[in-house]
A = this chain, B = another copy of it.
Amino acid sequence: MPPVTPELEDLFSFLRFASISTDSAHAGEVRSCAEWLLKKLNGMGLEASLHETARHPIVVAKNQHVEGRRTVLIYGHYDVQPVDPLNLWNTSPFEPVIRDGRIWARGATDNKGQMMAHVLGVEKTLREKGELPVNLTFLFEGEEEIGSPNLAPFLIQNSELLKCDVVAVSDTGMVAPGVPTLGYGLRGIACCEVILRGPKGDLHSGLFGGAVANPATGIARLVASLHDVAGRVTVEGFYDQVRALEPWEREMWAKVPGVSDQDFLTVTGSPTLFGESGYSSAERTWARPTAEVNGIGSGYQGEGSKTVLPAEAFVKLSFRLVPDQDPKDILEKVRQHLELNCPPGLTLEFMPGHDGKPYAADPNSDLGKAAQRALKVAFNAEPVLIREGGSIPIVQAFRDLLGADTLLLGLALSDAQIHAPNENFPVENFEAGIRLNQALLEELAK
Contact = CB atoms under 8 A, between A and B. Distances in A.
Contacts of A301: 84, 295, 297, 301
A92 interface: no
A417 B225 CA distance: 33
A200 interface: yes
A296 B313 contact: yes
Given A217-B292, A264-B212, A201 B422 contact: yes
Contacts of A297: 296-298, 301
A354 interface: yes
A442 to B, nearest CB: 30
A333 B327 CA distance: 43
Contacts of A390: 204, 206-207
A316 B305 contact: yes
A209 B292 contact: yes
Given A22-B306, A300-B82, A318 B205 contact: yes
A301 B300 CA distance: 13
Contacts of A281: 211
B389 A22 contact: no
B299 A216 contact: no
Contacts of A191: 305, 307
A406 interface: no
Nearest to A286: B210
Interface string A187-214: 1010101000111111111111111111
A250 to B, nearest CB: 15
Contacts of A276: 210
A197 B269 CA distance: 10
A298 B296 contact: yes
Interface residues of A, number: 103
A414 B227 CA distance: 39
A22 B296 contact: no
Contacts of A365: none
Interface string A337-357: 000000111110000011000
A124 interface: no
Question: Which among A199, A289, A300 has the highest number of chain B CB atoms within 10 Å?
Answer: A300
A377 interface: no
Interface string A107-150: 00000000000000000000000000000000000000011000
A224 interface: yes
A210 B232 CA distance: 9
Question: Which among A207, A345, A389, A419 has the highest number of chain B CB atoms within 10 Å?
Answer: A207
Given A81-B306, A146-B304, A210-B289, 14 more contacts: A82-B306, A88-B201, A147-B305, A203-B268, A206-B391, A207-B389, A209-B292, A210-B290, A212-B264, A214-B292, A217-B226, A220-B293, A270-B345, A296-B296
Interface of A: 22-24, 81-82, 84-85, 88, 146-147, 173, 187, 189, 191, 193, 197-214, 216-217, 219-227, 264, 268-276, 281, 284-285, 288-310, 313, 315-316, 318, 320, 343-347, 353-354, 388-391, 414, 417-422
Please give me the 3 A-B residue pairs with the lowest Cβ-Cβ distance, nearest first.
Answer: A200-B269, A274-B345, A206-B390
